[in-house]
Amino acid sequence: MKLWLRLIWAHLSWRWRPKATVADVGVRQFMVWPTDIDIFLHMNNGIYLTLLDLARFDLMKRARAWQKLKKQKVHPVVVQETITFRKSLTPWLRFNVETKILGWDNQAFFIGQRFVVKGEIYAEAVVKLRFLQSPKGTPTPNEVNERLGGWPGTEPVLPAWVSQWNASVALPKGREQAPSDWTK
C-alpha cells in the first residue's frame, strides 16, 4: 500500500460514513493528486489498483466485515484482477470508486469496481478475492459468509462472463510449475 495518508484517512473516516452491508454498492470518493499522475499527466495505471484496494477496504469497514474477520485472523488477498480504461483521470478531478460483490464460486469472491465521474464510467475492474486465515487455512466464500452472519438478502448469481474470465486468466496454483515459455 503506497498511499499511506489515504489509507489512514480510510481507516479513520469510515465511522462517519453511512453504514453498509456487504451486499451494497460501496461508493468512495477520491481526487487525483499531483503525486498520482504519470508522464502523460493522467493518473498512473498502478494508482488505479491501489485505489481499488482502498475502496474494498472502505466497504468492508463500513459493513463491519473487516472487524469481524480480523478478530478471527482472516484477511483478504487479491488473486486476479483485470482493469479496462475508458477515459483518463486528470489532476484534481474528483471521482468515485464503486464496489460491488458480483458473486462467488466455491473458492473465491468476485468483485466489480468502477471509476465513475458524474455518473460516467471511466474505468472498470474485476477482482478475484480469496481469504486466508492465520496461521494457516483458506476459508471458502460460504464459510466467510457464515462468519459474517450470513449474506444479507438474496445471494447474487455469479455472471457467466465472470466465470469465463476467471478460467481464461487463471495460472497454475502456487505449488504447481509455471514455466515462463513465450513460444506457446
pLDDT in tens, 24-64: 999 999 999 999 999 999 999 999 999 999 999 999 999 99
Q: Is 163 left (phi over 0), alpha (psi -120 to 50) or beta?
A: alpha
The whole domain housing 62 covers 4-163
Flag whether 130 is in a domain. Answer: yes
Split into its structural domains, the chain has a count of 1
pLDDT number for residue 166 = 95
pLDDT number for residue 116 = 99
Flag whether 81 is in a domain. Answer: yes
| This prediction's pTM | 0.90
CATH number of the domain encompassing residue 114: 3.10.129.10
Flag whether 181 is in a domain. Answer: no
Flag whether 68 is in a domain. Answer: yes
Burial grade of 97 (CB within 10 A; 0-12, 13-18, 19 or more): buried
Flag whether 172 is in a domain. Answer: no
Flag whether 178 is in a domain. Answer: no
DSSP assignment of 53-94 equals: HHHHHHHHHHTTHHHHHHHTTEEEEEEEEEEEE-S---TT-E
